[in-house]
Structures are given as C-alpha cells and as structure tokens.
Amino acid sequence: MDALKALQPVLEAEGDKPSVQLLAGRAYFHSAQLNRAEQALTRVLELDPSDHYARFVLGRTLQRLGRLVEALGQLRMAWAMNPVPEYQDALSEVNARVRLQEG
C-alpha cells in the first residue's frame, strides 16, 4: 500500500503515461487489488499494445481472478512477443489448469 500512496500524485499528474499505469498495475497486483490491476494494465495496453510485460502481468491478474481462458490469451501474446522462461512457465501453468477444468 505504501507504493500506491507514493504513486498517487504521479497517477493524478501523469495518469496517461503507460509507464505510470504499469507501475500502478504492478502495485495493485502485489497488493491483491486485482480489479484495479486489471484496469491499469488494460489502460497500458490501450496506450501501448506492444508492451509484453503488461500483457504478462495482466495474464497473471486474470489468472488470479479465475478467468483462465482470458489469462491464457494474454500470456500467449506475451510469450509470442518475448519468449522468456518466466512467461513460458506461466503459460504452461495456466494451460494445465484450463485442461483440468475442461476435464
């Protein structure tokens, strides 16, 4: 929550900057304010659709919200844009959970 308090004046002054929204999204994610994280990360992607890290964190946010199919889409895009092991691990995890649900 301290990060969010510190970030508040910047959000008010520069809320349309993708970097500011990304910081807010990460802070909301880490403080389990998942709906706010989703909103901030979605805003990042509206401003900069090529931000693979925002897609990754949005995917993890959607995963924690239980919206696995949506999470899978974001994680697939993040991994396609930047195939790093962290993205692949998250993608594999969500893929496995979706397969379990489908049964």
Per residue in 53-96, pLDDT (tens digit) is 999 999 999 999 999 999 999 999 999 999 999 999 999 999 99
Domain membership of residue 95 as a residue range: 3-102
- Residue 11 pLDDT grade (very low, low, confident, very high; cuts 50, 70, 90): confident
What average pLDDT does the structure give for the chain? Answer: 93
- Domain total in the chain: 1
Q: In this structure, what DSSP letter does residue 32 have?
A: T
Of the CA atoms within 13 Å of residue 44, those in its CB half-sphere come to: 25
Which residues are CB-neighbours of 82 under 8 A, at least 6 positions away?
52, 53
Q: What is the CATH number of the domain that holds 83?
A: 1.25.40.10
Percent of the chain topping pLDDT 90: 81
| pLDDT for residue 28 | 94
